[in-house]
Amino acid sequence: MANSLVLIQKLVLGDVLDRYQLAHAVFVLDGAEADQPQLEEYADELRAANTVLVSKLDLISAETASALQDALIDIGVKNVLRVDNGVAERDFLSESSRILEFVADYASEFRAHQDNVNYTVIEIEKPISPPAQLEQSWPQLQDEFGLHRLKGDFQDDSSQVWHVEATPSQIRLIEGRPDARMRIVAIGSKARLLTLERLMEVVGGA
């Protein structure tokens, strides 16, 4: 749930909430990726949510997790629950939502988080082999193209399909589906400058 306040506005304007009830608002926060600027950027959405579920805490130290919890309290977030290996208590879902009241009382402009979105879709027409080269190149791709997301599928020399998902601090390669389309989506400040040729140059030099 990223830009929840804008979403609520659209639901209200479309009279959707005349027919459906909003049960609960959950903000899932990636504990391994969250940093102070991000918390400040999403502060309103975090406060508006009934519950903030913090995931991937197993990837960070106990001290960092504790600091994150403190930072959330500092910006006024109250109901924080941790998700351990994808599992969380579900009792909180029975509480009724108060996000509509939050939006009704919200005075300032909504966050326009998509202003700086820059993306590209690259058809991967050549093999990337070995696949680990992409993993090794991820820091360079972040530096050179300002990337913060990479997701898609590609083949290696032996026609094995690989699925990649990357965030600023993580990159994961798993076996992909044989029927997957060989293409990668990259998001970041200069993503559009990343072409297949440039990607192969960077990966080749990893």
Partner 1 sequence: MVHDTRVAVDGLLAQCAEYKELSARLEHAGRLLARAKLRREPTDELSRSYQHLQNELGQLADDMTFASPIIWMTYKYEAYQKEAQPIQTMADFRLHCSKPGYICTKRFLFVNSQLQKQGLPPLSDKATYADSLDLGQASEALLPLRMDPGFMKMWATYEFFRTGGKVAKWQNYLEQ
- Looking at residues 78 to 117 of the shown chain, list those that interact with partner 1 (rule: CB under 8 A): 100-101, 103-104, 106, 109-110, 115-117
Report the residue number, 7 or 80, with the smaller CB distance to partner 1: 7
- Mask: binding to partner 1, 8-47, rule CB under 8 A, as x and -? xx--xx----------------------------------
Binder among 16, 36, 58, 119 for partner 1 (CB under 8 A): 119
Closest CA to 132 of 158, 156, 167, 151: 156
Contact region for partner 1 (CB under 8 A) — 57-65, 77-85, 149-157, 195-203? 195-203
**Cβ-count burial 34-56 (b if 16+ within 10 Å, e if not):** beeeebeebbbbbbbbbbbbbbb
Q: Which one of the spans 6-14, 67-75, 136-144, 168-176 is the region binding partner 1 (CB under 8 A)?
A: 6-14
Binding mask 44-83 for partner 1 (x = CB under 8 A): ----------------------------------------
| C-beta of 119 vs 170, nearer to partner 1 | 119
- Whether cis (ω within 30° of 0) applies to the bond prior to 130 is yes
Measured between alpha carbons, how far is 199 from 203 in angstroms, rounded to an integer?
6
Question: Considering beta carbons, is residue 82 or 98 the nearer one to partner 1?
Answer: 98
Collapsing DSSP to helix, strand or coil, 206 comes out as coil
Q: Is the CB of residue 170 less than 8 Å from the CB of residue 59? A: yes
- Which residues lie across from 161 on neighbouring strands? 155
3-state SS assignment for residue 193: helix
- Going by their DSSP bridges, the two strands 80-82 and 51-55 should be labelled as parallel
* Chain residues that interact with partner 1, rule: CB under 8 A: 8-9, 12-13, 100-101, 103-104, 106, 109-110, 115-121, 192, 195-197
